[in-house]
């Protein structure tokens, strides 16, 4: 009987680019937020060391390129276990959408396999593995509302943002992250500048007043993304913004009725739409754990 884990998506409430780094990445200041759109990851431990991944979506590669497989293999070699896993991924989070689906899957695989293999790495080692897998992966070890600095991989938990109803619109295009950053064409950051807390967080910083610096590039290449953002405002969003490098845009709505009306309007425009709520840090940890315990024992014992 497999154990089932939830793997939540994120949005970037704000995203600033502070410069281009000598390693080719960009120095960011972003506010991440987990939301309740999620994939499910079913895991069965095996006595042989193979990591076998399957997925209900034919678009997802299940070979060694998949971040879940790479996460499992990295943990395996770090802790030196001979155990393996059969993993099945049920996808709901759209890909190349700025919602961090693959990164979330990788982080949840690390946390889940630590439990199932009964191994534990020191926090900084686990964080190191996560950061090598991708810049967004470390955030999903923590969840809730958090500031991301550096490549977005240095995570500072913030107080949970009080967010109303969140409407996501997927405007029908996929946007790969790398080319968006390359198009920014920024100067190199001063190698001596180290962006750390608290110096990199101005007094009175408010993500509501800060946009997403990647919007300009994406709006130019994919006008439909800007259009979706404008529509969200016309449908009553208090704030509408692109998440990450897109293509998904999100709108914050004051109440359930206006958010549902916006979702219906988005569907009528031919777009995929969701009404979501934020997932705070405590709930994030608890929900993943509860999913684990339900999948692990109850059904099995009850039958
Ligand atoms: O780390 P990840 O594989 O998610 O990043 C995808 C690409 O996005 C990188 O190869 C890089 O080109 C770009 N990127 C960047 N600066 C960041 C994060 C990502 O330039 N902070």
CATH of the domain at 54: 3.30.230.10
**Is residue 152 domain-resident?**
yes
How many angstroms is it from 268 CA to the middle of ligand 1? 34
How many angstroms is it from 138 CA to the middle of ligand 1? 14
Q: Whose CA is nearest to atom 20 of ligand 1?
A: 25
Q: Give the alpha-carbon dihedral of 222, 224, 228, 234, to 10 degrees.
A: 120
**Is residue 137 domain-resident?**
yes
Per-residue pLDDT tens listing for the chain (303 residues) = 789 999 999 999 999 999 899 998 999 999 999 999 999 999 999 999 999 999 999 999 999 999 999 999 999 999 999 999 999 999 999 999 999 999 999 999 999 999 999 999 999 999 999 999 999 999 999 999 999 999 999 999 999 999 999 999 999 999 999 999 999 877 666 544 555 656 677 788 899 999 999 999 999 999 999 999 999 999 999 999 999 999 999 999 999 999 999 999 999 999 999 999 999 999 998 876 655 544 443 332 222
**Would you call 177 helix, strand, or coil by DSSP?**
helix
User: Residue 224: CB partners within 8 Å, gap ≥ 6?
Assistant: 171, 172, 173
**Is residue 77 domain-resident?**
yes
Among candidates 278, 285, 301, 297, which has minimal Cα distance to 6? Answer: 285
**Is residue 300 domain-resident?**
no
What is the DSSP-derived secondary structure letter of residue 243? -
How many angstroms is it from 175 CA to the middle of ligand 1? 13
**Is residue 260 domain-resident?**
yes
**Is residue 37 domain-resident?**
yes
What is the spatial distance between Cα 56 and Cα 37, in angstroms, rounded to a whole number? 17
How many angstroms is it from 180 CA to the middle of ligand 1? 9
The answer to whether the CB of 120 falls within 8 A of the CB of 129 is no
Active site residue 136: yes
CB under 6 Å to ligand 1: residues?
25-26, 28, 134-136, 151-152, 177-178, 181
**Is residue 119 domain-resident?**
yes
Beta pairing class for 249-253 and 272-276: unpaired
Domain of residue 33 covers 3-295
Active site residue 56: no
Q: Whose CA is nearest to atom 2 of ligand 1?
A: 134
Q: Whose CA is nearest to atom 21 of ligand 1?
A: 151
**Is residue 268 domain-resident?**
yes
Total domain count, the chain: 1
Residue in 39, 91, 136, 153 annotated catalytic: 136
User: Residue 297: CB partners within 8 Å, gap ≥ 6?
Assistant: none
């Amino acid at each position: 009987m497999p154990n089932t884990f939830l793997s939540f998506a994120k949005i970037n409430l704000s995203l600033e680019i502070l410069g281009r780094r000598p390693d080719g990445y960009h120095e960011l200041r972003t506010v991440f937020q987990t939301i309740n759109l999620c994939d499910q990851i079913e895991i069965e431990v095996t006595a042989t060391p193979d990591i076998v991944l399957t997925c209900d979506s034919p678009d997802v590669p299940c070979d060694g390129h998949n971040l879940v497989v790479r996460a499992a293999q990295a943990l395996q070699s770090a802790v030196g276990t001979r155990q393996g896993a059969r993993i099945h991924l049920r996808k709901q989070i759209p890909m190349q959408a700025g919602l961090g689906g693959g990164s979330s899957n990788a982080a949840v695989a690390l946390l889940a396999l630590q439990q199932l293999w009964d191994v534990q790495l020191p926090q900084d080692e686990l964080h190191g593995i996560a950061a090598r897998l991708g810049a967004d992966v470390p955030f999903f070890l923590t969840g809730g509302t958090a500031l991301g600095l550096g490549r977005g991989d240095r995570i500072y938990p913030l107080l949970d943002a009080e967010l109303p109803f969140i409407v996501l619109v997927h405007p029908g295009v996929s946007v790969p992250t790398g080319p968006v950053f390359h198009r920014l064409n920024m100067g190199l950051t001063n190698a001596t500048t180290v962006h750390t807390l608290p110096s990199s967080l101005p007094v009175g910083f408010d993500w509501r007043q800060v946009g997403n610096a990647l919007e300009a590039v994406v709006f130019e290449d994919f006008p439909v993304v800007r259009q979706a953002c404008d529509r969200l405002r016309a449908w009553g969003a208090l704030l509408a913004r692109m998440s990450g490098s897109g293509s998904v845009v999100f709108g914050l709505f004051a109440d359930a009725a206006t958010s549902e009306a916006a979702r219906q309007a988005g569907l009528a425009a031919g777009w995929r739409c969701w009404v979501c709520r934020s997932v705070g840090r405590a709930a994030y940890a608890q929900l993943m754990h509860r999913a684990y315990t339900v999948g692990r024992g109850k059904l099995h014992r009850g039958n």
